[in-house]
Structure 1
Amino acid sequence: MDICLFAGTANVPLARAVAERLGVGLGDALVRRFADGELHVLIRESVRGRDVYLVQPTSPPADEHILELLFLADACRRAGASRVTAVVPYFGYARHDRRASGREPVGARLVADLFSAAGLSRVVALDLHSAALEGFFSTPLEHLSAAPLLSEAARPWISERSVVVAPDLGAAKLADRHARLLRLPVAVVHKTRLSGEDVRVHAITGDVRGRSPLLIDDMISTGGTIEAAVNALLSAGCAPDIAVVATHALFVGPAVVQLSALPVLRFIVTNSVAAAACPALPIELVRLEGLLAEAIRLLHDGRSLEALLAHGEAASPPR
């Protein structure tokens, strides 16, 4: 059973790099819109009996990229693919994991159900916003982590005065993983979100005075959480050499303007989503194709992914 790799339009360069690592060509698929805006997907090669992997982060615009993935999955299933696995480096609607008030949908659960309805055999995701999302999927889910790769990229910039900082309680577990990899202490910023862009910090747990913060989060969206955390750390007397590490660099809305005004020396992020040009920010890009190609290779061969999983023991990162 041969590997067959297709890409949606969300991050074609990443899909192409993964295919190159695997030594296969990127599959021939047409993904376009009709004049009325409706989506048209056509698989232009045989997938009958093949092990198909669809590389598609559901990044902004999330609705369009989710529908592309669903159409690709359905097309491959109907064309006789033996297995269809979605490789979703960034999972949109991950923050819609509960109802903040009484009359809201649980968007993450609905999207997970749509993945199952499309006939996917398995989903591979990376650093989900909450580990609890794993329980939303009836389709088997492999939850990978980029923490080993990101920690290695951050290692040259740390010192004995460094401290890993979670910008909110939701990032505490991810920050703890980085702290164990780097053998550093941890601090946590306690915040309240006032709106999609505005955040208020209440307190900081842990010693940050005179220390160099390494802020850890799963994503940077509008930059509001990072901005509030940086200002709180500076007020608490931290050293001015601040670094930010995040898996998913969305940089939407006012993010670039807000973040470029902060005294952050570097942003270490991955290529899980298509990188926008941000010359105003000192960005160091960590590439994921080695990790994703290794996960695909292990799945195809029926071997364990334990060393790559978010809850597994940290191992040397694939390169």
Structure 2
Amino acid sequence: MSNRSAMPTRIVAGTAHPALAAAVAAALGVRPVPCDVERFPDGELRPTVHGVQGGDVYVVQPTGPAVNDHLVELLLLLDACRRGGAEIVTAVVPYFGYARQDRRDRAGQAVGARVALDALASAGADRLVVVEPHAVALEAMCPVPVEMLTAVPILADELADLTPETAVLVAPDLGAVKPAEHYARLLRRPVAVVRKTRVSGERVHAEELVGDVEGRPAVIVDDMISTGGTIEAAVRVLLDHGASPDITVAAAHGPLVPAARDRLGRLPIRCLLVTDTLPVGEARAARLRVRSVGPLIADAIGRLHNGQSLDTLLVRG
């Protein structure tokens, strides 16, 4: 393989989040290459990508709602880049749909994360870049290298200004403990943990709280907010344990399905902080603040292109 740093850097923007792709390209001092995605009446897609021959190509396409359409489009874009003569093709998937399906809960289920990862590799991806994946097990499942970028420092920087020093960081379930500890190291604040049981896709039962929140503002930190069920259950436990009704919620990803708007709107949440791994319309949630991961992704791409370490940008397992 030729010297990567000598190749031209090319950014391909899928239709899932062209604004983020443009921000990444701008931070790198380049423009996205011309790309057309033709849509047929029956729903089929046919992308055409120009100007990638001999390039170090990065296809930016989160696979958020509509997950399946955006995933198939990403697969076709990867194939188009490979057939267009790209030297190296990296799939940049800021929000990776199917990440929550990293194992079977019962016999007869598919492992959706593994299927999606295999498909990306088969379509032509040499490497995958994701932001705060729901499951760090993705790295072990994927047939090509995976770079898992952390958005915690970006959000922690905002939380330092938004919340008082007396605030307690709250992991809304056991899966969020390690990210919460990362926030705690950066913000120098204590951590509390809610133990929950998921009843269904939207219903969550919170069982107990470990940690002291009485009379203190709480900052709930998680990797994503989808239905809002986990956040709702955590808020109710916090209030039951005497937390101040002045709660902040921070998450890397904000899919925010329609039901989440009403659910979160009923809760004493003063601020909902997310990043732009997915498009987030201003009207989708009141009290919403958005920080961009564009510079983070651009930094990662620059380091990959120049053969530099990404260690300081990665999720800690």
TM-score w.r.t. length of structure 2:
0.96
- Measure the CA separation in 2 of the matches of 1:190 and 1:163: 16
For residues 225-261 of structure 1, the C-alpha deviation after alignment (integer angstroms, 9 at most, x for no partner) is 1011001100110011110000001110310011011
> Hey, what does 2:272 align to over in structure 1?
267
- Measure the CA separation in 1 of the matches of 2:262 and 2:38: 33
Aligned length: 311
For residues 251-296 of structure 1, the C-alpha deviation after alignment (integer angstroms, 9 at most, x for no partner) is 1031001101110000111000011233651011111111111111
For residues 67-111 of structure 1, the C-alpha deviation after alignment (integer angstroms, 9 at most, x for no partner) is 111111111111111100011100001110111111110000110
2:82 to 65, 69, 77: 77
Answering whether residue 229 of structure 2 is matched by residue 224 of structure 1, we say yes
- % same residue: 49
Contact 1:47 1:80 (C-alpha < 8 Å) held by counterparts:
yes
Q: Which amino acid in the other structure matches residue 231 of structure 1?
A: R
Contact 2:16 2:62 (C-alpha < 8 Å) held by counterparts:
yes
Partner SS for 2:237: helix
Partner SS for 1:184: coil
1:5 to 8, 11, 27: 11
Q: Cα RMSD (Å) of the superposition? A: 1.1
The CA deviation at 1:300 is 0.7
TM-score w.r.t. length of structure 1:
0.95
For residues 179-202 of structure 1, the C-alpha deviation after alignment (integer angstroms, 9 at most, x for no partner) is 111111111100101111111011
Q: Which amino acid in the other structure matches residue 152 of structure 1?
A: D
2:312 to 307, 316, 319: 307
Q: Which amino acid in the other structure matches residue 283 of structure 1?
A: L
> Hey, what does 1:170 align to over in structure 2?
175
Ranges of 4+ aligned residues in structure 1 off by more than 6 Å: none
* Structure 1: gaps of 5 or more residues: 313-319
Which is further off, 279-288 or 256-265?
A: 279-288
- Measure the CA separation in 1 of the matches of 2:307 and 2:285: 44
Contact 2:261 2:284 (C-alpha < 8 Å) held by counterparts:
no
Contact 1:256 1:278 (C-alpha < 8 Å) held by counterparts:
no
Answering whether residue 27 of structure 2 is matched by residue 41 of structure 1, we say no
What does residue range 194-273 of structure 1 map to in structure 2 within 5 Å?
A: 194-273=199-278
Q: Which amino acid in the other structure matches residue 80 of structure 1?
A: G
Answering whether residue 58 of structure 2 is matched by residue 53 of structure 1, we say yes
